[in-house]
Chains A and B, each alone.
Chain A
Amino acid sequence: MNNNAKSSGRTAIYIATWICLLALTALTVTVAGMNLGKYGALTSVLIASVKASLILLFFMHLKYETLLLKAMLLGTIATIAVIIGLTFFDVGIRY
């Protein structure tokens, strides 16, 4: 019984996550249609990051994982941010 309640609780979380993801997709397509110029790119990437976070936290259970795993993921994201950031110091000046 307890197991069943847990299971349907998780189902509700998954469906709520999915609905949020669909809503954010509708939002990002609408915003892209408004031609915000430079801010358009920024908004798109921001919305994509919210969607990616939802998938990571709930579908991939990151919310319920150990601190070690969370720290490892943050380390990976930080590495990527440093690589992208340093490249743009160069690219931004040259082009």
Chain B
Amino acid sequence: MKEGHNSHKHDFEGSKLGMWMFLFTELLLFAGLFLLYSAFRSKYSQEFHSASAELDRMIGTVNTLVLLTSSLTMALSINAIKSGRKQASLLFQCLTVSFGLVFLVNKYFEWGAKINHGIYPNAPELLQRGKGDTMYYGLYYLLTGIHGLHVFGGIILITIMMILTLKNSINREDYVRLENSGLYWHLVDVVWVYLFPVFYLIR
């Protein structure tokens, strides 16, 4: 058991490094999409300006606060397991998942309202408005959609971590899987920190 513990220690460093390398590829993925956005923004600045005024700043701000708070509860859940407080860790993981769900429900209503107004990819009403608006909303659905998928993935991941914590497979000695899930969750938060001003605030 003691030997196993020691070899685990080396694994912790390795698996954290591996997780970060995966996160770098995620950063490059989103950076590419942001680049696409800014290139088209400079081409269709007038259209992007007026289209972004149609987004609901309120719902964007609420979702920002929800996601930032979920990052806090995620960090607190790791802190709790490090000092052996299993129940507290489970509670914080559960809160993180709940905030993630709130974020997705808000997104559902936001997208729903836009789709009801006839604004969705390839919608006749949107195509009539011209290339600039089509590009803006195409990028809006693409970026917030891929980000939403990441939130959904994070929710599944943390739910699995909750089960593992419940089974004591994640404990105060061995919590690197929870830590890596946390890194993933925080990165999804970092991406939203940029998505929020880019789509909702910059006009």
Contacts and interface: CB of A to CB of B under 8 A. Distances in A.
Do A and B belong to a common assembly? yes
Interface of A: 3-4, 6-7, 10-11, 14-15, 17-18, 21-22, 25, 28-29, 32, 35, 40-41, 44-45, 47-48, 51-52, 55-56, 58-60, 68-69, 72-73, 76-77, 79-80, 83-84, 87-88, 91-92, 95
Interface stretch (B134-142, B154-162, B193-201): B193-201
B197 A52 contact: no
B14 to A, nearest CB: 12
Contacts of A88: 38-39, 42
Given A14-B75, A59-B186, A87-B35, 14 more contacts: A15-B72, A18-B71, A21-B68, A25-B68, A45-B197, A47-B197, A52-B193, A58-B75, A59-B189, A69-B20, A76-B28, A80-B27, A83-B32, A88-B39
A60 B186 CA distance: 7
A40 B72 contact: no
B69 interface: yes
Contacts of B198: 44-45
A56 B61 contact: no
A83 B31 contact: yes
Given A21-B68, A28-B201, A80-B31, A52 B38 contact: no
B57 A29 contact: yes
Interface residues of B, number: 44
B18 to A, nearest CB: 11
B183 A60 contact: yes
A95 B45 CA distance: 11
A84 to B, nearest CB: 5
Contacts of B38: 84, 88
Contact of B20 (A32, A73, A77, A83): A73
B201 A44 contact: yes
Interface in B64-99: 64-65, 68-69, 71-72, 74-76, 79-80, 82-83
